[in-house]
Each structure stands twice: as C-alpha cells, then as structure tokens.
Structure 1
Amino acid sequence: MNKQLKCTLQWILGIAAAAAAVVILLITAFEAAMYLDFSYYQKEYEKYNVLEDLDMEMEDVMYVTEEMMAYLRGEREELRVITTVDGVRQDFFNEQDRFHMEEVQGLFLGGMRLRESAAVVLVVCVLCLILMKADLLRILSKSWQIILGVLLAAVAVLGIAVARDFNAVFTLFHEIFFDNDLWIFDPATDYMIRMLPEGLFFDFVIRIGWMFLLGAGILLLLSLAAKRRWKKEEQKRRNTEN
C-alpha cells in the first residue's frame, strides 16, 4: 500500500469512527433523557396540568408512564395498564394507542441496535488505525472536530426550525417514520394524548438536545487535549531528530 493511499484510508477510518461516536452519543442522550430521571415526567405533568385533564392521581399517572416506558424497551409483551381514569377502573390504552406504540417500540429498539452497530464500527475503526500504526491522537481528534463542525451546523438548522414551528417539525418526523395517520389522536377519546401533550415533547427535545451537546462538548475538549498532546509529542520527536 502506497503512502498516499494509506493516509487516505486512515482518514476515512477516522471520520467513520467519529460518525459512529455521534450515533452512539445521540441515542444515549435520547435514552438518558427518557429513562434517567422519571421525576422529570412528574414535573412535566404538573407543568401541563395533565392530572386535571385525565382526572387521575399522580401515582396512577406515573405508574402508567413507567409501564409504557418499560414496554418501549421491550420489557413488557403487551401495552395494557389497568388504572383509574375519570373515576373508572379501566385499561388506560386503547387499540390505536397500542398500534402506534408498537411502531414506536420498533423505532426505539431499532435505535438500540443501531447504537450497538455503531459501537462495533467505532471499535473496528480504532483497531484498524492501531494495526496500521496511524497517528491515533491526531486522526481521531481532527476527525471528531470535522464531524462536530458539520453536526453543529445541522443542529443549528434543526434548532431554528424547532424554535420557529415545532408542530411542523413534529408532524414531518411522524410523516417520515410512520406510513399511516394513526399517530394523530383525539383528546376527547384518547387518554394517552392527554397525558403526552405537544409541549411535553418539545421539552424532551430540548432535554435530549442539551444532553447531546454536553456529551459532544466533553468529547470536543478531549479531542483538543489529544491534539495538544500530539503536538507536544511531535515537537519532542523533531527536537530529538535534530
């Protein structure tokens, strides 16, 4: 393998590793935002007066939430939760809820599998770089900074779109990922949409966003530190040669 081809391949591996890290970080931020602290749901329910809309006790709403989120992780076979709603002991979810949430579960579990695949890609790329005796610190740090620059531009565009018209972005997301209109609910007949108002989704998007950017920022600092270390080692090597 000639030197130019080897250098190009190393940079391709570095960019692929950085891209895989982004996928891992994004899905982890999503999972952390949704599962790390269930008290956040309670605060959101209080913020949007969900208890009043459902005529339920907070304990019951939280029970429904925990069971629903367990279902999305594949920890429940079926989405049936008996609780007291509007003063009646009944199943909180109807058939439309179950159909839509089954599709959401498919997306969620698909995301988990995608993260696992990205982790494999990351490890393989790093191992290949090591075997090729590449300048690991320089390639990985620079690759992350390149990917992060592209990513921040995309996040900025998405952030502007969300700030201007969250409903349009929310609708577009569903039109892309679902091939039916069963994600459109009627608050008069569907308890789930009363429990999960649009404002709650907006708040979770913001929560996922800052968690993701926090992780990206930490990796940026690490990449800058790695770049600084590489420069010191390179300068030391040159001094030794001279």
Structure 2
Amino acid sequence: MGRVGWVLWALFIVAIPLFLVTASVTWAFNSPGLYNNGFEKYSISRISGITDRDLRQVSSELRHYFNSGEEPLDVRTRIFGVEQDLFNDREIAHMKDVKQLVRGVYVLALVSGVYLALMVAAGFALQRRQFVGPLARGFLWGGGLTLVLLVIFGVAALVGFDSVFLKFHQLSFANDLWQLDPRTDYLVRIFPQDFWFDATMWVAVRAIGGALLLTVVGSAYLVHQRYAGWQNAFHALKEAARPDSK
C-alpha cells in the first residue's frame, strides 16, 4: 500500500467516529421523543407554566428553526395561560449561535458519511471481493477508535459533567450569550443542564451501538478468514502426508 493508500485509510478510520457521533447528534436534535421525555422527566410544565402540549409545539418550532433559513427565532406560547414571546433578545441571539453550531454538525455528518460511502464504493469497484478484508480491518479500527474516544469522554462526563458542559460552551461560542439565568430566561428553564446530560448519554449510546456493530462485523470477518486459512493449511498438510499423494 502506497502513501496515498495509507492516508485514505487513515481518513476512513477517523471518519467513522466523526460520522457516528455527528449523525447521532443530528438524530438527537431532530428527535421529538428526546425533547418530550426530558420535559416529562424534569416536570418542565410545572416549572415553566407551559402546558405539555405547548411544550411539544415549542420543541417542534425549535427543530423547524434549526432546519430552516428563517431568522430570527420567533416562538410564542402560553405561559400560565397568557400568550407571549417565549425567548428574550439574549436568548434569541444565543440560539442563532446554536443554529450555526448545529448546521456545522450537519455538514460534518454529511461530509464524513459521503467519504465513507465513496471509499466503500470505490474499493469494491476497483478490488471487488478482495476489498472485503481491508474494509473489515477499517471497520475494526474505526469502531475501536470510536469506543475508546467515547469511553474517555463518558468517564469525564460521569465524573464531572459540569466541567465538561462549561468547557464545551467556552470552546464552542465566542461570546457569553450562553450564560443565561433560569430566573429570567426560559431557554434554561425548559432545557436544564440535566436535560443536556441525558441528551449527551442518548447520543453516546447510539454512537457506541454503531461502533460496536462495526467492530463486531469487522472482527468476525477477520476471525472467520483466519480460521478458514488455518483449515486450508491443515487440509494441505493432511494431503501432503497421505502416502498416495507422493
């Protein structure tokens, strides 16, 4: 394998965790169930004064905002029975930053997914069945890398999610608009930090599931091939040892 081949496979291996994580994050931001379960688990209706039905509508409008070109965010709902704007100017400005971040995740998921698909398609087109072995090794290494990274992140999140959450915001945003007050800002009332911990675990579980699948598939094929090689070698030795084979 030449230098270009090594680079292509290195990118393939790195693209696997990138795709699994960003695809899971994309899924999370667009999953009504994740929002609704969080609202119910943390009694957001009681805390915010917004009914469960209206909270579901709010989450639907947020998902629409992330997936559209509409600006600025404009969400009205009933709070303790009075219809009003849900978010203030600071929250709206922060959500614009969040939207840009989410769109960046979408792009990474698309680019990494397309690269993986092109590598697989090109490999089978050029090498046909001979590509299965290298692909299995790529799955094994990529899935293994994903598991290692997620285990490290998971331990850090479980030990000190507050610090991880803070560092994420400091690295992701170039301003302090994310510093909101639950006494005045509904964004942190309806999405408390515990909600984001659950969402992080939700993403991690799905990314780990994908990584385990790739790791198992890749390792199973490689073990099968090695076992088949041993069997062929054993049969060859038996044939060579037979008297009538001389």
Give the TM interval when normalised to the shorter protein.
0.7 to 0.9
1:66-81 to 2 correspondence within 5 Å?
66-74=60-68, 76-81=70-75
Report the Cα offset of residue 127 of structure 1.
Answer: 4.5
Report the Cα offset of residue 168 of structure 1.
Answer: 0.6
Contact 1:42 1:62 survives alignment (8 Å): yes
Deviations 1:175-225 (A, max 9, x none): 001011110101111111100001000011111111111111111222123
**Which of 51, 57, 63 is the matching residue for 1:63?**
57
CA distance in 2, matches of 1:42, 1:75: 24
Matched residue SS, 1:89: strand
1:173 — aligned with what?
168
Contact 1:60 1:83 survives alignment (8 Å): yes
Contact 1:72 1:105 survives alignment (8 Å): yes
**Which of 110, 113, 117 is the matching residue for 1:116?**
110
Contact 2:77 2:83 survives alignment (8 Å): yes
> Structure 1 residues 239 and 121 mapped into 2: Cα distance closer, same or farther (>3 Å)?
farther
Structure 1 residue identity aligned to 2:98: V
Q: CA RMSD in A?
A: 2.6
Q: Compute the TM-score of the two structures, normalised by the length of structure 2.
A: 0.84
1:22 — aligned with what?
17
Q: Does 1:103 align with 2:97?
A: yes
Deviations 1:115-136 (A, max 9, x none): 2211232234335544653842
Q: Does 1:151 align with 2:141?
A: no
Structure 1 residue identity aligned to 2:156: A
Q: Compute the TM-score of the two structures, normalised by the length of structure 1.
A: 0.85
Q: Does 1:163 align with 2:151?
A: no
Q: Which of 1 and 2 has greater Rg? A: 2
> Structure 1 residues 56 and 132 mapped into 2: Cα distance closer, same or farther (>3 Å)?
closer
Matched residue SS, 1:56: coil
Structure 2 residue identity aligned to 1:103: D
Runs of 4+ aligned structure 1 residues displaced above 6 Å come to 235-242
CA distance in 2, matches of 1:132, 1:71: 43
Structure 1 alignment gaps of length 5 or more? 1-5
2:127 — aligned with what?
133
Query: Is 122-131 or 85-94 further displaced after alignment?
Result: 122-131
Deviations 1:60-103 (A, max 9, x none): 11111110121112264431111111332111111111111111
Aligned residues: 236
Identity of aligned residues (%): 25
Structure 2 residue identity aligned to 1:147: G
Matched residue SS, 1:133: helix
Matched residue SS, 2:127: coil
Structure 2 residue identity aligned to 1:204: A
Q: Does 1:221 align with 2:216?
A: yes
> Structure 1 residues 74 and 229 mapped into 2: Cα distance closer, same or farther (>3 Å)?
farther
Structure 2 alignment gaps of length 5 or more? 238-246
Contact 1:17 1:122 survives alignment (8 Å): yes
